Amino acid sequence: MTRESRRKTDVLVLGAGIVGVSVALHLQKRGRSVTLIDRKAPGEETSYGNAGLIERASVIPYGFPRELPKLLRYALNRSADARFHWSFLPRILPWLGRFWLESSAGRLRQAALDMLPLIENSVTEHDALIREAGAADLVRRRGWIEAYRNEAAYARAQRDARALDEFGLRYDLLDDRGLRGKEPHLSGAFSGAVHWLDPATVTDPGRLVKEYAALFMRKGGLFLQAEVTGVAQARGGWSLDAGDDRLDAREIVVALGPWSDLVFSRFGYAIPMAVKRGYHVHFQPLPGAVLHRTVVDVERGYLLAPMARGIRLTTGIEFAHRDGAATPVQVGLTEPSAREIFPLGPRIDATPWMGARPCLPDMRPVIGPAPRHRGLWFAFGHNHHGLTLGPVTGRLLAEMMTGEPTFANPAPFAVTRFA
């Protein structure tokens, strides 16, 4: 790529995770010349290490729990599914307070309705890119399983699933026999399970992002591997310091996931983004053992996903500083439970991977223009569902940027809700 060709770029997209790559593809589809920039190769951060669910069934965002026993366990920092660094607690408390307020039944329902068009189109928008990218081998169509050890918890889960019938989700309720019919190598630890049928799963999310990025490049898009250090308004557009280069464009999109504050703080946007850290580690299955679908062991707070690399155990939430040292306590807490339910062999990874889910307290991402800076656009904060929502975000933002009618109402995602 020559300096000259860079100068002609219409749009600079910062961040080549699932969100940035999807934005780049959708802008390109609409005739924009796009340069995509990341300090690593595409899909090597949060979008690499997730659980691989294209979560069409998550119509209700993950709110702050309100059941007293759960709250007590959380408060005592005794839960495997959500933990915090004591020293970080004073910093995160105001955010948690806001998250709590946003998690009332009424507000959660409004969040669900706002997010619905994105969730409903999540699999179909991925499918369009998967077809074009030739990445069908990375995707499975078997849904995922939410398994319960305790009868009462399973009864509640059945009621909760039925309460979602208005959203038209497809699911099977499985007793122990039904569950073992689908997953013969799971132990008998479970009373029952909900098998969500609509979601797709990805066996290597990082590679999926790389395939999407390869499609973008095949179609003439430019990818530059460089650290973004400075962003500035210049000559009616934007200029960017990335490594040794200076790039110019009319417009710029911030899709830096948990690092998006690098730009939004610099331009004075007080967006309450926090991170929920999470870990994964891979295991070899013992010879002959097969896990066909992703299984969540709900009461024990972890998930097992059959991935290309092995069986991936992912953990729940850790509230800690984004850049603080890894403390994979939750991996240690959940591994014995995972070994109890499935014949796991040795760990494949020497050390657990750690990532940071970029989260807003109202459980909606920020998608849209920065109101005080013409040509600056935001696409970040996808919480637990960034892999799911990457392509729909790309489409929505590209439609907004090119003045097309939008497939979903973008108002709930406007950054002005925090201003």
Ligand X SMILES: Cc1cc2nc3c(=O)[nH]c(=O)nc-3n(C[C@H](O)[C@H](O)[C@H](O)COP(=O)(O)OP(=O)(O)OC[C@H]3O[C@@H](n4cnc5c(N)ncnc54)[C@H](O)[C@@H]3O)c2cc1C
Q: Kindly state the smallest distance separating residue 383's Cβ from ligand X, in Å.
A: 6
Q: Kindly state the smallest distance separating residue 290's Cβ from ligand X, in Å.
A: 20
Measured torsion, CA atoms of residues 234, 240, 244, 245, in degrees rounded to the nearest 10: -70
Amino acid at 378: F
Residue nearest to ligand X (CB): 386
Q: Kindly state the smallest distance separating residue 294's Cβ from ligand X, in Å.
A: 8
Name which of 17 and 306 has its Cβ closer to ligand X.
17
Name which of 387 and 401 has its Cβ closer to ligand X.
387
Q: Kindly state the smallest distance separating residue 188's Cβ from ligand X, in Å.
A: 26
Name which of 54 and 108 has its Cβ closer to ligand X.
54
Name which of 50 and 191 has its Cβ closer to ligand X.
50
Q: Given the rule CB under 6 A, which residues bind ligand X? A: 15-20, 37-40, 44-47, 49-53, 55, 227-228, 255-259, 262, 278, 280, 314, 355, 357-358, 380, 382, 384-388
Name which of 118 and 344 has its Cβ closer to ligand X.
118
Name which of 210 and 384 has its Cβ closer to ligand X.
384
Name which of 255 and 333 has its Cβ closer to ligand X.
255
Secondary structure of the chain in the HEC alphabet?
A: CCHHHHHCCCEEEECCCHHHHHHHHHHHHCCCCEEEEECCCCCCCHHHHCCCEECCCCCCCCCCCCCHHHHHHHHCCCCCCEEECHHHHHHHHHHHHHHHHHCCHHHHHHHHHHHHHHHHCHHHHHHHHHHHHCCHHHEECCCEEEEECCHHHHHHHHHHHHHCHHHCCCEEEEEHHHHHHHCCCCCCCCCEEEEECCCEEECCHHHHHHHHHHHHHHCCCEEEECCEEEEEEECCEEEEEECCEEEEECEEEECCHHHCHHHHCCCCCCCCCEEEEEEEEEEEECCCCCCCCEEEEHHHCEEEEECCCCEEEEECEEECCCCCCCCCHHHHHHHHHHHHHCCEEEECCCCCEEEEEEECCCCCCEEEECCCCCCEEEEECCHHHHHHHHHHHHHHHHHHHHCCCCCCCCHHHCHHHHC
Q: Kindly state the smallest distance separating residue 207's Cβ from ligand X, in Å.
A: 13
Q: Which of 385, 365, 359 is nearest to 377 (CA)?
A: 365
Name which of 306 and 355 has its Cβ closer to ligand X.
355
Name which of 17 and 191 has its Cβ closer to ligand X.
17
Q: Kindly state the smallest distance separating residue 139's Cβ from ligand X, in Å.
A: 13
Q: Kindly state the smallest distance separating residue 260's Cβ from ligand X, in Å.
A: 8
Q: Give the integer Cα–Cα distance in Å for 164 and 177.
A: 24
Q: Give the integer Cα–Cα distance in Å for 228 and 241.
A: 6
Pairing of strands 34-38, 192-196: unpaired
Q: What are phi and psi of 144, to 5 degrees?
A: -145, 165
Q: Kindly state the smallest distance separating residue 68's Cβ from ligand X, in Å.
A: 27
Name which of 191 and 305 has its Cβ closer to ligand X.
305
Q: Kindly state the smallest distance separating residue 92's Cβ from ligand X, in Å.
A: 16
Is the separation of the CB atoms in 195 and 172 below 8 Å? yes
Q: Kindly state the smallest distance separating residue 390's Cβ from ligand X, in Å.
A: 6
